[in-house]
Amino acid sequence: MVTDSDIGKLTKRNMKRVSLIKIIPGLLIIVLINIIGTYLYFRLDLTAEKRYTLSPATKKLLGNVDDLVFFRIFLYGDYPAGFKRLERETRDMLNEFRAYNKNIEFKFVNPSESQDGQEREKIFRQLMEKGLEPTDLQVRTKEGTSQKIIFPGALVSFQGREVPLSLLTSRRGTPPDEILNNSIENLEFVLADAIRRLVSKNRPRIAFIEGHGELNNHETADARVALNEYYVAERVILDGKLNALTDRVSSDSASTIVRNKYEAIIIAKPDSAFSEKDKFIIDQYIMRGGKVFWLIDPVQASMDSLQLSNQTMGLSRELNLTDMFFKYGFRINNELVMDLSALSIPVKTGQIGNEPKFDFFPWHFFPIITPQINDPIVRNLNAIKTEFVSTIDFVQSEKLLKKDVLLHSSKYSRTVRTPLVITLDILGQKVDERLYNKEYLPIAVKIEGEFESLYKNRIPAEISEDKDIDFRETSKSTKMVIVADGDVIRNQLQFSQGNYIPLPLGYDRYTGQQFGNKDFVLNVMNYLTEDSSLISIRSRELKLRLLDKTRAEAHRIFWQLFNIGVPIILVLIFGIIQVTIRKNIYAK
């Protein structure tokens, strides 16, 4: 006879069996997923901007890392929320790097951890000697505010080499919240770029052209040092020699193969005319796919003359390049840009005892260019310092070329044609803003495509048909960048102990400001030498989602109670529903 007790036991046994039947498939699925996961790698990025999805260029770079790359990040400690966010995003990005390559290691270090003030100062000096820049930070405390020195950067080492990198992307006149967001946008590029500098084995060759009064070694010293981290930078005098930019190699068929020696060339502020032979050499270098970074001053004007006299003349500079520029689809105008957004220069205004008194006045011939074009070359760059800059126009070309503006003047600018008198008397005078009625004048452009030779149908048959010359009428697909100011790549010099010491490119020794000239030059060369895949990482945009601090403070009590109370209420509701369901099940 089956009793109620036996039925109860059977029911419980059946329930256990059913429970096991439900659990076992779940466990098997989990085990199977783990087994598959050991062979098949994938990650899900659920963010709106796919901020944790690495670009193909970064993945390719990480795939080539065959030894330990170690990051020591010094952005660690008790910082405000914005810097903690930058720290967190840096950690997340490095974890993403490590997920693709286990050779990526990192450690966060607090340089202010020591309680000994002398020990902290020693650490700070060591970090600055290695190239890390400190940032003064005001931290709010219960007593008010306190000053704190932080190092928002890192030291990256690989096989005995070490490079510094800055995690904070500063831009002149940009609010702090936007600076932090720009820094987060740039994280992948900054971190990947540091790895590339360390692990690259085959550096492309580039050349500074000489022989036409171009900027010398001292004036381009800092640019050359920066470029040598990525390239082998040389200086080449053309002097009419056909093999100055090309190699000629005999092939098996007894013919001559002509190929370029350099990935790109830089022509920085020539001041004398190019011979037709030198133009022909450059033209044929371009026809073979060579890239050119033109930094041209069409107007002769110098502050050196103004140091000796109160005024100087701005005159057109004859470089014998106008026909070449027209053929390639652009024109540099013989005029100067004056801009209300300008660098201040020191002017002697009096004497205090035996010491001269200097005041600073905006010098409208030195525009400060704030990049506003959404192009990877200039995106998130700091403002760029210029001196006596001119304008560029695009002209109709026989070949279909892609032309884009990279840099332009501010909304309040004007142009003055040559010849003109440049005088310091305008300093301190009231500005007539009605004259500054031209906006966004192009001063730097890029052009891509297949160019047509300047010498097409212009040279005799004995030259065009010469196998050793291998004349070409049309180029391979190539590109060039043109800046209507040679001083963009020129560093200032400081006289010390009988020597001229090059200052960092973009640094102004009078105002103490650091501008973005060096980053601009590096980005241009990356673009020209086919490193655009990595620099294109700059084009990603992360949305800035910031709290409205005024509203948050006004409704602080409400949101505090909301954040505490709502989770508790949800747990209680869930518990009541769960208990009710269980009662109904067992009541049956």
Same domain, 262 and 306: yes
Residue stretches of the chain with pLDDT short of 50: none
- Report whether 142 contacts 107 (CB < 8 A): no
Same domain, 118 and 228: no
Q: What is the pLDDT of residue 534?
A: 63
Q: What is the pLDDT of residue 398?
A: 74
Helices (H), 487-555: 517-528, 532-535, 549-554
Q: What is the pLDDT of residue 430?
A: 86
Cα–Cα distance between 220 and 198 in angstroms, integer?
23
Long-range CB contact pairs, 562-566, < 8 A, 24+: none
- Report whether 290 contacts 244 (CB < 8 A): no
Identify whether 538 is part of a domain.
no
Q: What is the pLDDT of residue 85?
A: 86
Same domain, 279 and 394: yes
Tell whether omega for the bond before 419 is within 30 degrees of 0, i.e. cis.
yes
Identify whether 114 is part of a domain.
yes
Same domain, 365 and 414: yes
CB hemisphere CA count around 39 (13 angstroms) = 4
Closest CA to 149 of 122, 124, 185: 124
- Number of structural domains in the chain: 4
Q: What DSSP element (H or E) covers 450?
A: strand 442-452
Q: What is the pLDDT of residue 144?
A: 56
Q: What is the pLDDT of residue 550?
A: 59
Helices (H), 288-413: 303-308, 322-327
Cα–Cα distance between 330 and 442 in angstroms, integer?
11
Q: DSSP letter string over 381-449? A: PPPEE-SS---EEE---SS-EEEEEEEE--SSEEEEESSEEEEGGGTTSPP-GGG--B---EEEEEEEE
Cα–Cα distance between 532 and 47 in angstroms, integer?
25
Q: Model's pTM, two decimal places?
A: 0.77
Identify whether 51 is part of a domain.
no
Strands 401-408 and 442-452 turn out to be antiparallel
Same domain, 369 and 276: yes
| Domain termination residue (choose one: 198, 216, 250) | 198
Q: What is the pLDDT of residue 492?
A: 92
Please list, in sequence order, all residues whose beta carbon lies within 8 angstroms of the beta carbon of residue 204, skipping any fewer than 6 positions away.
230, 231, 232, 262, 263, 264, 529
Identify whether 510 is part of a domain.
yes
DSSP letter (8 states) at residue 582: H
Same domain, 516 and 560: no
Identify whether 572 is part of a domain.
yes
Same domain, 310 and 279: yes
Q: Which domain, by its residues, includes 518? A: 205-528
Identify whether 587 is part of a domain.
no
CATH number for position 168: 3.40.30
Q: What is the pLDDT of residue 274?
A: 96
Q: Partners of 392 in the beta sheet?
A: 332
Q: What is the pLDDT of residue 480?
A: 96
Query: CA gyration radius for the chain?
Result: 32
| Domain termination residue (choose one: 138, 170, 198) | 198
Please list, in sequence order, all residues whose beta carbon lies within 8 angstroms of the beta carbon of residue 502, skipping any fewer than 6 positions away.
218, 219, 221, 222, 491, 492, 493
Identify whether 561 is part of a domain.
yes
pLDDT digits (tens, 9 = 90+) for 497-523: 778 889 999 999 888 888 999 999 999
Q: What DSSP element (H or E) covers 12?
A: helix 4-39
- 295 CB burial (10 A radius; 0-12, 13-18, 19+): buried
Same domain, 220 and 159: no
Q: What is the pLDDT of residue 171?
A: 64
- 235 CB burial (10 A radius; 0-12, 13-18, 19+): middle
Cα–Cα distance between 262 and 288 in angstroms, integer?
11
Identify whether 24 is part of a domain.
yes
Cα–Cα distance between 295 and 498 in angstroms, integer?
30
- Report whether 514 contacts 382 (CB < 8 A): yes
- Report whether 457 contacts 186 (CB < 8 A): no
Helices (H), 228-302: 276-287
CB hemisphere CA count around 469 (13 angstroms) = 17
Same domain, 500 and 353: yes
Cα–Cα distance between 543 and 178 in angstroms, integer?
10
Q: DSSP letter string over 454-500? A: TTTTTS-HHHHT-TTT---SEEEEEEEEEES-GGGGPPPEEEETTEE
Q: Is 28 helix (H, G, I), strand (E, B) or coil?
A: helix
Q: How far apart, in Å, are the Cα atoms of 39 and each of 29, 35, 59, 322?
A: 16, 7, 18, 61
Same domain, 230 and 249: yes
Same domain, 66 and 182: yes
Same domain, 224 and 186: no
The token pair that represents 299 in the structure block? 């107007």
- Report whether 504 contacts 222 (CB < 8 A): yes
Q: In what order do the strands lie in the sheet with 104-108?
A: 104-108, 69-73, 153-158, 161-166
Q: Partners of 501 in the beta sheet?
A: 494
Q: What is the pLDDT of residue 68?
A: 93
Cα–Cα distance between 55 and 61 in angstroms, integer?
10
